[in-house]
């Protein structure tokens, strides 16, 4: 049986209408399914936990954005007892990009029901303050990129742009204001025991997939099945220069620029001189000074387009 976890609110209500379309198709095809609509923040975590704490292998399908994916993977009880399908309808969709999943919902459903090719995905997690833990599928970052996520959540811009079908523009607009406000700081970043110190850091992000922030290919070589995390650090780079690099980052052409550093490893410890916003898959975790990122020992089976 397929368990569909649906965020009706994703992309300002598009979730609900997309689900109606999907459900008609499930009925037409006589698919055995059960649907659960999220009613509030973190509800998807509770739903996923309830389904997966029972015995057996569980087929979960998420209909929502990267935020809902993040909530669901945080609820999964035993990662290797789950097979995850995804119908992307969020505004950033970086998880879907990583697996080349189609945006068209019925086509995406086809990849789950008809042609199941699976990736065995690494699942990252960070620990921070007093051993709090949060998993991530796409990325976890500290500094500018997390500040953008925080601001997008609290401002009304995303709702407004989503209504126009231009959700990504909300991130672009907020990125401009946040870059002006951001205060670069010193960070010590230790990857697999090797210590690096960077001055004037705008942000440091640990990535499982190549894309974050709605299509920025920040770590072009990130491979969510290679058992390692990729790290991008933007340091000692003027704000203006960074802004000119952002369009190049859509194609991953920013990596040769001065001030962009890429690292790779199994464990990443980040210590910032001052507290900065943190995010996992675009979901804010308020101000932190230190975080530790690594991978879960078990992988997650994900339906992909290959």
Ligand X SMILES: Nc1ncnc2c1ncn2[C@@H]1O[C@H](COP(=O)(O)OP(=O)(O)OP(=O)(O)O)[C@@H](O)[C@H]1O
Which residues of this chain interact with ligand X, rule CB under 6 A? Answer: 7-11, 38-43, 64-68, 71, 90-93, 282-283
CB 96 → ligand X: shortest distance, Å? 9
Shorter beta-carbon distance to ligand X: residue 63 or 293 = 63
Minimum CB separation from ligand X for residue 7, in Å? 4
Q: Which residue do the tokens 């569909």 mark?
A: 4
Nearest distance, CB of residue 232 and ligand X, angstroms: 20
Nearest distance from C-beta of residue 266 to ligand X, angstroms: 27
Angle at 73 between CA 168 and CA 267, to 5 degrees: 90
| Closer CB to ligand X, 20 or 41, in the complex | 41
Question: Distance (Å, rounded) from C-alpha 204 to C-alpha 194?
Answer: 16
Residue 215 CB, shortest distance to ligand X, in Å, is 11
Measured between alpha carbons, how far is 213 from 175 in angstroms, rounded to an integer?
10
Instruction: State which residue, 66 or 145, has the beta carbon closest to ligand X.
Output: 66
Nearer to ligand X, 216 or 261 (CB): 216
Nearer to ligand X, 90 or 259 (CB): 90
Q: Which CB atom, from 228 or from 283, has the smaller least distance to ligand X?
A: 283
Q: Sheet containing 33-37: which strands, arranged edge to edge? A: 33-37, 2-6, 58-64, 82-88, 300-304, 117-121
Cα separation, 94 vs 86, whole angstroms: 12
Q: How far apart are CA 275 and CA 281, in angstroms?
A: 19
Please give the full DSSP string across 128-185, using - where no structure is assigned.
ETTTEEEEESSEEEEEHHHHHHHHHHHSSHHHHHHHTT-HHHHHHHHHHHHHHH---E
> Can you tell me which residue has the tokens 């407004």?
160
98: Cβ contacts below 8 Å, ≥ 6 apart = 138, 208, 209, 210, 211, 224
Minimum distance, C-beta of residue 170 to ligand X, in the bound complex (Å): 9
């Amino acid at each position: 049986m397929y368990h569909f976890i649906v965020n009706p609110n994703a992309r300002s209500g598009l979730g609900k209408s997309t689900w109606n379309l999907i459900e008609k198709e499930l009925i037409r095809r006589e698919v055995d399914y059960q649907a659960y609509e999220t009613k509030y923040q973190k509800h998807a975590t509770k739903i996923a936990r309830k389904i997966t704490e029972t015995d057996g292998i569980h087929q979960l399908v998420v209909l929502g954005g990267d935020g809902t994916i993040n909530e669901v993977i945080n609820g999964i009880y035993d990662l290797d007892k789950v097979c995850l399908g995804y119908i992307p309808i969020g505004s950033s969709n970086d998880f879907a990009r990583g697996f080349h999943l189609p945006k068209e919902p019925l086509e995406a459903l086809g990849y789950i029901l008809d042609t199941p090719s699976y990736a065995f995905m690494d699942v990252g997690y960070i620990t921070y303050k007093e051993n709090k833990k949060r998993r991530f599928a796409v990325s976890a970052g500290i500094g500018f990129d997390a500040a953008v996520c925080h601001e997008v959540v609290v401002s009304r811009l995303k709702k407004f742009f989503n209504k126009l079908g231009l959700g990504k523009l909300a991130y672009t607009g907020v990125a401009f204001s946040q870059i002006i406000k951001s205060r670069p700081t010193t960070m010590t970043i230790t990857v697999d025991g090797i210590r690096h110190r960077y001055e004037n850091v705008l942000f440091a992000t640990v990535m499982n997939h190549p894309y974050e922030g709605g299509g920025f290919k920040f770590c072009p070589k990130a491979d969510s099945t290679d058992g390692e995390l990729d790290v991008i650090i933007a340091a000692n780079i003027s704000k203006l220069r960074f802004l000119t690099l952002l369009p190049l980052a859509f194609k991953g052409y920013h990596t040769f620029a001065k001030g962009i550093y890429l690292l790779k490893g199994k464990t990443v410890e980040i210590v910032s001189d001052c507290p900065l916003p943190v995010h996992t898959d675009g979901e804010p975790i308020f101000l932190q000074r230190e975080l530790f990122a690594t991978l879960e020992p078990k992988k997650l089976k994900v339906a992909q387009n290959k």
